[in-house]
Amino acid sequence: MSRMWYYQSELTEPNSENIAMQTPWLAPIVWDGTFQIEILNQQFRLQNVSIGLVVFATGKYIAFLKGFLKTAEMYFMEGHRVKYYIFTDQPGSVPLLKPSKGRQMVILETQASAHPWNTYIYRMEVISYFSQQRFAKEVDYLVCAHVNIVFCNSVGVEILSSLFGTLHPLFFGLPRKSLAYERQPQSQAYISENEGDFYYSGAFFGGKVLEVHRLTKFCYLALRMDQAYDIQVVRPEESYLNKYLLYNKPTKILSPEYMWDKTLPITDGFREVLTNWGMLEKVSKYPWTDSKQDFQGDLRLGQWSVF
């Protein structure tokens, strides 16, 4: 991929109460109140859009699924058509929650594996495969989320776009050299110290189905290539995602309100936002989970059953 050299975007303006509302490539940065949600709701209802929410609940992480689904029912895409796509190795442990009107729960069973490779590669492979083979026929947008999160306030159609990413609160407002990009030049996830826009969380991203297919396919193939050469990246959950979004700019970016973690320290840049704006927590990590920890259990492509 060809490289472009340019100054890093600023999220906050020094000595000012202003924060960035738009990227240099004219993508909106979504903070609470950025859009009139009533107007957006009407537009999306007229289009009769449907949204797929993809989540993996394998191994011990099945324990988080009930909280995830209950809060999604309360706050996620209220008044719109939603399909919950739940990938799990324990279908019998999926909570018996009746979705509200216009919503459907789809359980996709997968078998656990003792494969030593990080399960991230399988999640990307599965999302890529199903996006092309099934999701594109059933929903208009996909939102991919970690199961160990809860929805705390309304998360609606303001997030929907061709391709969106979410700013990671731990790296909010930091210079490029301080971002946790992969720095091994031989890795497919490599980003040099003089490149980069923002650091995106791997726990909440999405967009149009085929755009999500392209993103997850890149992550899957790039990780496969690195593994073929025995290259281990530090943060596989986010390194390949950030590489893709560097060269395939998201059309909408969600503020750290959409992926907050109460255990994270407050950086100077984020403290300015808290002081001037106040923080409305929309999506939050469970405070007792490690935000860097990956899901447990592996997935084997081709071993799903639908209930």
The answer to whether 130 and 86 are in contact (CB under 8 A) is no
Residues contacting residue 231 through CB under 8 Å, at least 6 positions apart: 184, 186, 187, 188
168 is in an annotated binding site: yes
Catalytic residue among 182, 195, 237, 238: 238
Q: Which of 175, 171, 204 is nearest to 284 (CA)?
A: 204
In whole angstroms, what is the distance from residue 31 CA to residue 159 CA?
Answer: 10
Residues contacting residue 152 through CB under 8 Å, at least 6 positions apart: 71, 75, 260, 281, 282, 283, 284
Return the half-sphere exposure (C-beta side, CA atoms, 13 A cut-off) of residue 3: 10
89 is in an annotated binding site: no
261 is in an annotated binding site: yes
By CB neighbour count within 10 A (0-12 exposed, 13-18 middle, 19+ buried), where does 270 fall? Answer: buried
Residue corresponding to tokens 């083979």: 133
272 is a catalytic site residue: no
Task: Tell me which amino acid residue 29 is.
Answer: I
Residues contacting residue 273 through CB under 8 Å, at least 6 positions apart: 12, 19, 172, 279
In whole angstroms, what is the distance from residue 130 CA to residue 113 CA?
Answer: 19
Residues contacting residue 85 through CB under 8 Å, at least 6 positions apart: 52, 53, 54, 55, 106, 108, 130, 135
226 is in an annotated binding site: no
Please report, in range form, the residues annotated as the binding site. Answer: 61, 168, 238, 261
Please report, in range form, the residues annotated as the binding site for UDP-N-acetyl-alpha-D-galactosamine. Answer: 61
Active site residues: 238
